[in-house]
């Protein structure tokens, strides 16, 4: 069924017109879409070329000379470059297709117009004859009525006066005859009109309209054929399975398959061939014991009353290690000989070929062999030490152990008599009977160790007893404990129990774990902090020791504190014990406290900040106007909600960490952070004018062009400073700027900032201010300082529009779509042309075409100078 038989009705004709309109709109949509596809392919080609160029930047390539994998990589990058060129060629072909669609659309509009005109023409002919028949019928009816009336009158006169004649009768007869003639003529015209209308209607229905519709169907189908061919052509230029791409991929596969592991290092091995490694000689340095009286002998274990317990303990540890090595060797041997899936090569990772499975099996066997050899070496090494200790202990046998230090008794006595008379008196008055001063001193952490020679084997690991009356009296005497190393200068461990823990310099309050890790840099660095777990406060000791370790301070039933060792009545004494004794916090960790890390100068006390009134709300909590007790200074305080996880608190403190190193009149100044208690707070200077956005809206009627340009210059000055520090703000907008006295603008809100030349978003694009963000950041997640330049252009527009919303009336997605197609906001009213041109430069689609902030500042400053001189 075709157009000629199915679409003759009026409704069908109107539907055909509507369909043609819809097809024209579809063509326009396709054209725009293919244009966007061409643009995307071009951008992808540019990105792919950049990838290939980056891949070819191989530093010190001479060190990889002869490498098959380097050669394959270069070929791979070259093929990527070819792919990029093919994508660019495809994009150019798509632009040609867009032109074809545009021409097809024009032709279709002409065909639609011709069809409408022809249909109207033949329909008008039929309508005209239809109207003519109706008119003739109306005339027929009128003349018929006149004829009937005159005939009746003629008959009446003729009957009344038969055979008579006269003027009146003649007049009646003439009128009757004229009416009769008109009636007959009208009758004939009506008959002819009907006959003509019948023929025209028949031709319209059977010849003209079907012919027009049949022709139109042919035209429509011809357009569909052309349309289809255009779409096929467009699809072909986007076909990644086409032969041209297959050939590139085939070449890539070929060069990568050419990598032969057995040949990869042949040239390297030949070039760097060396003789076998010269054995290292480890010898005991006999100069260490030249000035030490006693029985210490080079390369020989000393067994005496000072070392025997340690040697026996060490022997047990080593024997346990030997046994462990032997058990692990047995497990590996059983695993290999026991027909495990890996040994049989029956496990192949998903998606791998059989050869990969064999290679994996080979690698696994090699790894097992290597592990077995390593364990055998460890066993031999440990066994050597066991035999050496056994031999030394066997030589002593059951004899009385020799003294390790001949003069230690006299030394102790002299120490007691001259150094601690007062202490002895206190000890005698408070200790239980029979408890000597020497035992008391040893229980306090090995005080005698400080006086005994250089050998570490002299050190006594006496266990402190902090619960004794003597221990409770120690705070006065050990109120300050100087660090062991002279290089630590004035750092000290404060151990006073007369003040709360949060006043200790090494207590960092609720500083998040990530911030703590940043402060602990060297092995032995430590600090104490507070954390909240399951709504319960816990004190944590954080130590840098082969990484970062965090120990929760355990609380005993009687309110004392401990780790693995003895309990103490205060956390300060617990930390003193760990620091002074040099014992590991836990045996497993081995962590030793060497240097307390004190609070940084910008860590303020929470109690020094008095919150006055709420002045705003941020992403992490409320913002307050506050006062510092110590200086009576008014400040602005950002607070962090206590319920936020540590990750969010870390992001909150990031702003403070960035701001603390900046000092510029157009950057809001950091006064400090408060982390000793909840809530965490960032304390900044109070800028009296508040948000720039609110200021613009409130003062829209009084702002002058000079003031607006000054605000733009201030913002450019602040951003120029940040750019020099490799800081990317990422959220530059009027709402995140503050206004000081005399309209001076300060950059604020560094919560999204990053200190690096280039930042790639890895955690998604949530909470991104779309209308202020550069297209490359939205599309690829790539931020540089030139992204801030785009945002600065939006900020300028906000300033000169006096606080209007950018892209007003558009959703984020719509604004983003319009920007990608080249749309830029029009100039705000009364904006100097030079300032609008600067905005447009900031909004350049090509990133490298945008000006840097140094150039922006100079341009705005020159315009202000020229404006001032003109007045």
Which positions are annotated as active-site residues? 731
622 is in an annotated binding site: yes
How many other CB atoms are there within 10 angstroms of residue 688's CB atom?
A: 10
- Three-class HEC string of 8-65: CCHHHHHHHHHHHHHHHHHHHHHHHHHHHHHHHHHHHHHHHHHHHHHHCCCCCHHHHC
Cα–Cα distance measured from residue 308 to residue 314, given in angstroms and rounded to the nearest whole number: 10
Question: Do 593 and 524 contact (CB within 8 A), yes or no?
Answer: yes
Residue 36: Cβ within 10 Å count: 14
Please answer whether residues 807 and 771 qualify as being in contact, where contact means their C-beta atoms are separated by less than 8 angstroms: yes
Q: Is 793 labelled as part of a ligand binding site?
A: no
- How far separated are the first and last CA of the chain, in Å rounded? 82
Instruction: Flag whether 419 is marked binding.
Output: no
31 belongs to an annotated ligand binding site: no
Is 620 labelled a binding residue?
Answer: yes
Question: Which tokens go with 852?
Answer: 């840097």
Beta bridge partners, 604, equal 674
- Using left for φ > 0, alpha for ψ between -120 and 50, and beta otherwise, residue 749 falls in left
DSSP code of 568? B
Tokens of 212: 């027009």
Residue with tokens 């950059």: 747
Taking the C-alpha atoms of residue 529 and residue 653, their distance in angstroms, rounded to an integer, is 16
Does 97 count as an annotated binding residue?
no
The rounded distance, in Å, linking the Cα atoms of 547 and 186 is: 117
Among all chains, which residue has been given the structure tokens 């995140």?
736
d(CA 472, CA 363): 62
Q: What are the CA-CA distances from residue 249 to residues 47, 57, 131, 243, 357 (Å)?
A: 18, 22, 74, 10, 24
Question: Residue 675 — φ and ψ, nearest 5°?
Answer: -130, 10
Q: Is 617 flagged in the annotation as binding?
A: yes
Nearest alpha-carbon partner for 406 in 523, 270, 268, 295: 295
Is 638 labelled a binding residue? yes
The edge-to-edge listing of strands for the beta sheet with 595-596 is 548-552, 536-544, 525-533, 595-596
Q: Do 652 and 640 form a contact (C-beta atoms < 8 A)?
A: yes
Which residues are CB-neighbours of 302 under 8 A, at least 6 positions away?
295, 296, 404, 457
Cα separation, 446 vs 438, in Å, equals 10
Residue 116, helix vs strand vs coil: helix
Task: Return the C-alpha torsion angle 782, 784, 786, 787, nearest 10.
Answer: 50
CA distances from 204 to 218, 622, 844 (A): 19, 80, 61
Contact predicate 4/213, CB 8 Å? yes
Q: Cα–Cα distance between 778 and 643 in angstroms, integer?
A: 31
CB atoms within 10 A of CB 559: 9
Which residues participate in the annotated binding site?
615-623, 638
Which residues participate in the annotated binding site for ATP?
615-623, 638
């Amino acid at each position: 069924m075709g157009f000629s038989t199915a679409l003759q009705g009026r409704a069908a004709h109107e539907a055909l017109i509507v369909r043609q309109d819809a097809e024209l709109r579809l063509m326009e949509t396709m054209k725009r879409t293919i244009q966007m596809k061409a643009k995307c392919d071009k951008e992808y080609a540019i990105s792919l070329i950049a990838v290939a160029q980056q891949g070819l930047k191989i530093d010190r390539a001479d060190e990889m000379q002869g490498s098959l994998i380097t050669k394959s990589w270069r070929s791979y990058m070259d093929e990527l470059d070819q792919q990029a060129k093919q994508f660019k060629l495809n994009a150019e072909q798509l632009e040609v297709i867009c032109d074809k669609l545009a021409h097809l659309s024009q032709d279709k509009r002409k065909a639609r117009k011709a069809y409408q005109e022809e249909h109207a023409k033949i329909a008008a002919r039929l309508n005209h004859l239809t109207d003519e028949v109706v008119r003739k019928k109306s005339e027929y009816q009128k003349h018929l009525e006149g004829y009937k009336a005159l005939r009746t009158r003629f008959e009446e006169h003729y009957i009344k006066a038969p055979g008579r004649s006269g003027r009146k009768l003649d007049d009646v007869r003439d009128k009757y005859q004229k009416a009769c003639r008109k009636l007959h003529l009208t009758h004939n015209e009506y008959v002819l009109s009907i006959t003509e209308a019948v023929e025209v209607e028949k031709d319209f229905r059977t010849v003209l309209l079907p012919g027009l519709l049949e022709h139109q169907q042919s035209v429509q189908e011809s357009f569909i054929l052309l349309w289809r061919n255009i779409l096929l052509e467009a699809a072909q230029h986007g076909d990644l399975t086409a032969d041209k791409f297959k050939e590139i991929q085939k070449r890539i596969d070929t060069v990568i398959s050419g990598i032969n592991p057995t040949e990869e290092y042949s040239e390297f091995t030949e070039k760097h061939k060396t003789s076998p490694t010269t054995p290292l000689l480890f010898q005991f340095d006999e100069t260490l014991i030249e000035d030490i009286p006693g029985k210490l002998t080079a390369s020989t274990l000393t067994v005496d009353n000072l070392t025997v317990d340690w040697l026996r303990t060490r022997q047990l540890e080593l024997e346990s290690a030997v046994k462990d090595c032997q058990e692990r060797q047995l497990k590996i041997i059983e695993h290999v000989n026991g027909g495990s899936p890996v040994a049989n090569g029956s496990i192949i990772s998903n998606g791998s070929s059989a050869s990969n499975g064999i290679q994996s099996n080979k690698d696994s066997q090699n790894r097992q062999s290597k592990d077995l050899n390593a364990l055998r070496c460890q066993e031999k090494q440990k066994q050597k030490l066991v035999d050496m200790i056994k031999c030394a202990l066997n030589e002593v046998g059951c004899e009385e152990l020799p003294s390790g230090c001949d003069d230690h008794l006299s030394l102790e006595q002299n120490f007691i008599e001259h150094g601690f008379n007062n202490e002895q008196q206190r000890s005698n008055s408070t200790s239980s009977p029979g408890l000597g001063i020497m035992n008391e001193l040893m229980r306090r952490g090995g005080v005698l160790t400080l006086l005994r020679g250089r050998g570490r084997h002299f050190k006594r690991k006496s266990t402190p007893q902090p619960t004794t009356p003597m221990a409770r009296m120690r705070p006065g005497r050990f109120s300050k404990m100087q660090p062991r190393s002279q290089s630590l200068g004035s750092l000290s461990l404060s151990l006073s129990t007369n003040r709360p823990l949060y006043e200790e310099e090494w207590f960092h309050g609720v500083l998040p774990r990530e911030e703590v890790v940043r402060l602990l840099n060297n092995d032995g660095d430590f600090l104490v902090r507070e954390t909240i777990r399951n709504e319960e406060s816990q004190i944590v000791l954080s130590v840098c020791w082969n990484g970062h370790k965090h120990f929760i301070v355990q609380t005993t039933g009687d309110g004392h504190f401990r780790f693995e060792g003895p309990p103490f009545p205060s956390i300060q004494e617990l930390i003193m014990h760990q620091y002074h004794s040099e014992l590991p916090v836990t045996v497993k960790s081995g962590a030793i406290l060497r240097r307390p890390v004190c609070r940084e100068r910008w860590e303020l006390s929470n109690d020094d900040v008095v919150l006055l009134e709420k002045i705003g709300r941020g992403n992490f909590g409320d913002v307050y106007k506050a006062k510092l007790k110590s200086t009576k200074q008014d400040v602005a305080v950002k607070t962090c909600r206590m319920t936020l996880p540590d990750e969010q608190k870390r992001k909150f403190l990031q702003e403070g960490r960035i701001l603390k190193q900046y000092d510029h009149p157009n950057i809001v100044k950091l006064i400090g952070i408060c982390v000793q208690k909840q809530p965490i707070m960032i304390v900044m200077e109070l800028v009296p004018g508040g948000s720039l956005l609110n200021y613009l809206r409130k003062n829209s009627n009084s702002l002058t062009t000079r003031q607006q340009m000054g605000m733009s210059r201030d913002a450019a000055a602040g951003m120029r400073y940040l750019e020099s520090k490799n800081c990317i703000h990422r959220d530059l907008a009027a709402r995140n700027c503050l206004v000081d006295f005399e309209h001076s603008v300060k950059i604020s809100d560094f919560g999204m900032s990053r200190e690096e030349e280039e930042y790639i978003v890895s955690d998604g694009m949530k909470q991104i201010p779309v209308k202020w963000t550069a297209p490359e950041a939205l599309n690829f997640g790539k931020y540089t300082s030139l992204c801030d330049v785009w945002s600065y252009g939006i900020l300028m527009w906000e300033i000169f529009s006096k606080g209007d919303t950018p892209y007003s009336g558009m959703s984020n997605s719509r604004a983003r779509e319009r920007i990608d197609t080249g749309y830029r906001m029009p100039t705000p009213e009364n904006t100097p042309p030079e300032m609008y041109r600067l905005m447009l430069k900031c909004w350049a689609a090509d990133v490298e075409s945008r000006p840097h902030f140094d150039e922006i500042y100079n341009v705005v400053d020159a315009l202000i100078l020229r404006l001032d001189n003109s007045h």
